[in-house]
Amino acid sequence: MWSILFLLYVSLSVTDGAPRTDCTVSGLSAGGSMATQLHIAFSKDISAAGIITGPPYYCAQGSMLTAIGACMNGPATSVGVTAIQNKLKSYASAGTVDSLNNLNGDPVYIFHGKTDRTVVEGVVKLNEQIYQPYNINLKTNYDSQANHGFVTDNFGGSCTTLNSQNYINNCNFNLAYDMLNHLYGGNLVKPTGTTTLGGQLIEFDQGLFINPSIMKENTRGVFDLWSQWIDATLALYNPANYLPGLSGITLPNITLPGITTATSSSASSIGFDTTGYLYVPSGCTKGKGCSIHVALHGCKQGKQFVSNVFASKAGYNEVAELNNIIVIYPQVKSSTFPSNPNGCFDWWGYGNVNYANKQGPQMVAIKNIIDTVRAIHA
């Protein structure tokens, strides 16, 4: 076990020179902005982004007032695109985002519904201008009548009504598939009404990923927690748990790992909830190579507000099950310190001035989760 821990630590620590992967990200609203931050900052390892009615990268420029004003209500002309592009170049020059050349040819998907008044369409469309210099593979979808929310073909409120219960709208359109199909090259298998989930939605402790140096702490408690994570997760890949020829297999119901006061406090310190979700398709337990997708909820859409509704009902898991994609669902909660009353991912700087680059606490935590899942699956 200690040798596995050592290998995992090396995998988490040695990121320079790591090969580019097909890890992709997407998100709704604030989660959409966070998706662009992750894609641009970690473009060496994250190869595509889906932006669902989200303002562009660094739109708020560290100001909540700008976020609420220009970046949500517009007009688009009030957003300084040139200033954003200059900031990107400055970050790249300083090494706080990966080389912008990595973005060349990357798939990007942008969605906005016609009845969405929460974030105006013109601001969402500015994502095109921010990405334009990098010759991306762009697909846009501005034709839906959807209000502000994630769109499905089988769950949610009325398509054209703001559904504040969970911000998921049934518009008879599978947005998760349309987006992921573009991000993964256009050849994914599409779910049908009879698609069943043979995988498992797992709950895990997010607090372990807040501090990158946690693996260096030579305390039995820390290593015991990592041991629980690895033991439980490796069980998902143990062929002894499955019999050949059976269909409809359900993975073990595992919580990874036990929550402690220390890790709960670590999560809260950057606005994270104590636990997040991970969907592991049944095919990914049988020796198949699986890619990773990070799905980021919108404001008031995390576990604290809607339980696991976004993680279980947005439609990602059905696409993932049929196409061997592991889906990570990080969870943010509302907080007073830092000031984040609606449980949004940090896209305006409530947690740290470096919120949009590789030094941002939430950015670091999500990248650590990605690297851990990748290391275990490998």
**Omega before 55 cis (within 30°)?**
no
Q: Which of 238, 229, 291, 206 is nearest to 9 (CA)?
A: 229
- Asked if 297 is an active-site residue, the reply is no
Pick the catalytic residue: 45, 98, 106, 116?
Answer: 116
Choice among 29, 43, 282, 291 that is catalytic: 29
How would DSSP label each residue in 184-209? TTS-PPPP-TT----SEEEEEEGGGG
Give the type of residue at 361.
P
Q: Could you give the CA distance from residue 368 to residue 229 in angstroms, rounded to a whole number? A: 14
Distance separating alpha carbons of residues 106 and 104, to the nearest angstrom: 6
**Contact predicate 38/129, CB 8 Å:** no
Question: Is the CB of residue 12 less than 8 Å from the CB of residue 372?
Answer: yes
d(Cα 292, Cα 21) in Å, to the nearest integer?
9
45 is an active site residue: no
Q: Which amino acid is at 311?
A: A
76, with CB counted inside 10 A (0-12, 13-18, 19+), is middle
Catalytic residue among 148, 293, 297, 377: 148
Active site residue 22: no
Spatial separation of the C-alpha atoms in residues 282 and 90, rounded to whole Å: 43
CA-nearest of 279, 227, 286 to 257 is 227
| Active site (catalytic) residues | 29, 116, 148
